[in-house]
Copies of this chain bind each other. A is one copy, B any other.
Amino acid sequence: MKYIPKNIERVIEEFSKMPGIGPKSAERLTFYLLKKTESDIRNIGDTISKLKEGIKYCEICKNLTTETKCAICEDSSRNQSTICIVEDVLDLIALEKANEYKGAYHVLHGLISPVEGIGPDELTITDLVDRVQNNDIKEVIIGLNPSMEGEATASYIMRFIKPLNVRVTRIARGIPVGGDLEYADSQTLKRALEGRLEY
């Protein structure tokens, strides 16, 4: 693209590399930014530059934080004896937005996936087991995706958690709210029936 300045081309390139952004969207985003003032653009650039500044894993739950412990582990109003295991921080955010769960988390930062070469040692499973073993944990909720990797990871974790005599639950699988029974797959329907509750 020699017909537009290099600065602009570079930003289009960066956007194109991002997931779900095609070349046309990348151009559109870049020209959206170009309509802003230079100082606004610099602020956005700075905000992105600082994204990872001082970010580390919470020493307890492996959520992201700038302190030693994350805001959730520090929050004494939350039930710290219940741990919900999630794949990544995006899942934690989704659960927090539902505004229902008031316990703690444990972020695995991935799922066991032989295809992608991710073994249990790449995840934070050892920390989880230590945490359950050495603290007064009453319940562990498995909040992993109902995918093959999610199931495999859940059963791997169970091997270590089960002997510790803690209540273990998993989030319900069933018809999503607003979903259509007619279009649900048979595995989902099976789980929905198994998990039925009193009316």
Measured CB to CB, the residues of A under 8 A from B are 1-8, 10-11, 14, 18-21, 25, 27-34, 36, 38, 41-42, 44-55, 63-66, 70-72, 88-90, 92-93, 96
Contact = CB atoms under 8 A, between A and B. Distances in A.
A199 to B, nearest CB: 33
A33 B45 CA distance: 13
A20 B25 contact: yes
A5 B55 contact: yes
Kindly report how many copies of this chain are found in the complex they form together.
2
B46 A49 contact: yes
A52 B32 CA distance: 12
B65 A48 contact: no
B34 A51 contact: yes
B92 A3 contact: yes
Contact of A8 (B28, B45, B64): B64
Nearest to A30: B51
A93 B38 CA distance: 22
Given A5-B65, A45-B47, A45-B51, 20 more contacts: A1-B93, A2-B71, A3-B70, A3-B93, A4-B89, A7-B51, A7-B54, A10-B47, A11-B48, A11-B51, A14-B44, A19-B28, A31-B88, A33-B51, A33-B52, A34-B55, A34-B64, A44-B48, A45-B50, A49-B49
